[in-house]
Amino acid sequence: VKYSHLTWPEVGGALSNWLVLPLGSIEQHGPHLPLCVDEVLAETLADEVAERVGGFVAPTFAYGARSLPNSGGGPRYPGTVHLSGEVLLKAYQEIISSFIRGGARRLLVLNGHWENEGLIFEAIDACRENGRLAESTVIALSWWAVVHERDMVEIFGSFPGWHAEHAGQAETALMLAYNDQLVHMDRAVDHHDSVPAGIYAHPSPEGWSGNDGVLARTTHATSEQGRLLRALVVDRLVALLRTTA
Ligand SMILES: [Zn+2]
């Protein structure tokens, strides 16, 4: 299912199927989760979706956009390694157009990092304007786009908004379901104040970057909740690809 495990004679045939490109970040995720959360979640969800639709998974592009205080904790916490918007925009364009030039006909770009999203859409649309999407079908989304507020309330009991889910209950539960060895629940903390979405402020108010980089509640998260969320995301992504194909 891994694109990079193919030999060159196999590439042409493989690329008539869906190719899933996971995009992540290296970013602080509180005291209880590793820096690779966005990368791991994008890649593992991509693996499952590709397996279900008979597609392939491109190598994850782990480096992402700048972390902002009220959606990622921002520069207050060490760990984040980012590319500037102009470099990332260019990198996304090059990677996407290179896969399409190489024969990809159906491309799913699956994002795991909030701040990447606008740049991903911009990059794809720039490729479209330059004629570099050719005859390909391209779908791009962050994995949470297929999860509704009512789904989150059903699984977790409450929902603070996706910006505040950074290192929150959803990512904690998914990591517990996927790779609990990287999760330190004994160090998990909650943030009880609300963090506003879509407001930039300098200096950023203290509470906006959460409690130790956690923007909402996490300590109640379980692997069972993670399994429910993961199944829901994979089913909806598969359904999206089936209706698009
Ligand atoms: Zn994250």
For residue range 184-208, what is the model confidence (pLDDT) as tens digits? 999 999 999 989 999 999 999 988 8
Question: For residue 24, how far is its CA from the centre of ligand 1 (angstroms)?
Answer: 8
Contact present, 2 and 39 (Cβ < 8 Å): no
- Specify whether 154 is catalytic: no
Q: Which of 113, 163, 191, 212 is catalytic?
A: 113
pLDDT above 80: residue 109: yes
- Give percent of the chain with pLDDT exceeding 70: 100
Q: Regarding beta strands 56-57 and 137-142, do their DSSP bridges make them parallel or antiparallel, or are they unpaired? A: unpaired
Write out the DSSP string of 21-77: EEE--B--BTTTB-TTHHHHHHHHHHHHHHHHHT-EEPPPB--BPPP-HHHH-GGGS
| Euclidean distance between CA atoms 183 and 40, whole angstroms | 12
- Specify whether 148 is catalytic: no
Question: For residue 137, how far is its CA from the centre of ligand 1 (angstroms)?
Answer: 27
* Burial of 6: CB neighbours in 10 Å, binned 0-12, 13-18, 19+: middle
**pLDDT for res 60:** 98
**pLDDT for res 164:** 94
Question: For residue 89, how far is its CA from the centre of ligand 1 (angstroms)?
Answer: 20
| CA 160 centroid distance within chain | 18
pLDDT in tens, 6-17: 999 999 999 999
Write out the DSSP string of 178-240: HHGGG--GGG-----S---SS---SSPPGGGGTBTTB-S--TT--HHHHHHHHHHHHHHHHHH
**pLDDT for res 206:** 84
**pLDDT for res 207:** 86
pLDDT in tens, 122-179: 999 999 999 999 999 999 999 999 999 999 999 999 999 999 999 999 999 999 999 9
| Euclidean distance between CA atoms 237 and 88, whole angstroms | 25
- Average pLDDT, whole number, for the chain? 96
| Euclidean distance between CA atoms 238 and 94, whole angstroms | 26
pLDDT above 80: residue 223: yes
| Residues surrounding ion ligand 1 at CB below 5 Å | 37-38
Describe the crossing of helices 169-179 and 149-156 by its angle, rounded to 10 degrees. 70
**pLDDT for res 12:** 93
Question: For residue 129, how far is its CA from the centre of ligand 1 (angstroms)?
Answer: 30
| CA 117 centroid distance within chain | 9
User: Has this prediction a pTM greater than 0.85?
Assistant: yes
- Specify whether 166 is catalytic: yes
- Specify whether 38 is catalytic: yes
Question: For residue 38, how far is its CA from the centre of ligand 1 (angstroms)?
Answer: 5
- Specify whether 32 is catalytic: no
For residue 224, what are the contacts with CB-CB under 8 A and spacing of at least 6?
177
Higher pLDDT, 86 or 208: 86
| Euclidean distance between CA atoms 99 and 113, whole angstroms | 21
pLDDT above 80: residue 245: no
| Euclidean distance between CA atoms 140 and 64, whole angstroms | 15
